[in-house]
Copies of this chain bind each other. A is one copy, B any other.
Amino acid sequence: MKTIPKISETEWEVMRVLWASSPLSAEDIIARLAAQDAAWHPKTAKTLLGRLVKKKALGFEKDGRAYRYRPLVREVDCVKAVSDSFLDRVFGGALTPMLAHYVEHKKMSAAEIKELKRLLDQKE
């Protein structure tokens, strides 16, 4: 089991772009980030790319002077790590109260409810 580097709040946005599609150039990544949130400053994105490379969440191949970045860690693994820590911290590790919180406080469509029930059925 590989060690999952700790990915910060803003770094997650970058990772999510690359999990959705990779490899990508910095330029492409910046474009996609700006597409979902215009407040992204290119320099900031570059800094984050550098940090993610340093902490080995991203790798790259050179493509001329530029890099093409790709994830070195799988999304599922990162999601699992951070989900577990969230569960521990906020709900003391108790799964059901956590799920109950969401079910009770967030809107869900009938289809979503059905889908979730199906998953629960499978689990039995």
Contacts from A to B (Cβ < 8 Å)? 9, 12-13, 16, 79-80, 82-83, 86-87, 89-92, 95-96, 98-106, 108, 110, 112-113, 115-117, 119-120, 123-124
Contacts and interface: CB of A to CB of B under 8 A. Distances in A.
A1 B15 CA distance: 33
A96 B82 CA distance: 17
Contact of A96 (B92, B108, B120): B108
A96 B99 CA distance: 11
A39 to B, nearest CB: 15
A116 B90 contact: no
A98 to B, nearest CB: 7
Contacts of A89: 9, 12-13
A124 B116 contact: no
Given A90-B82, A113-B123, A117-B120, A102 B95 contact: yes
B83 A90 contact: yes
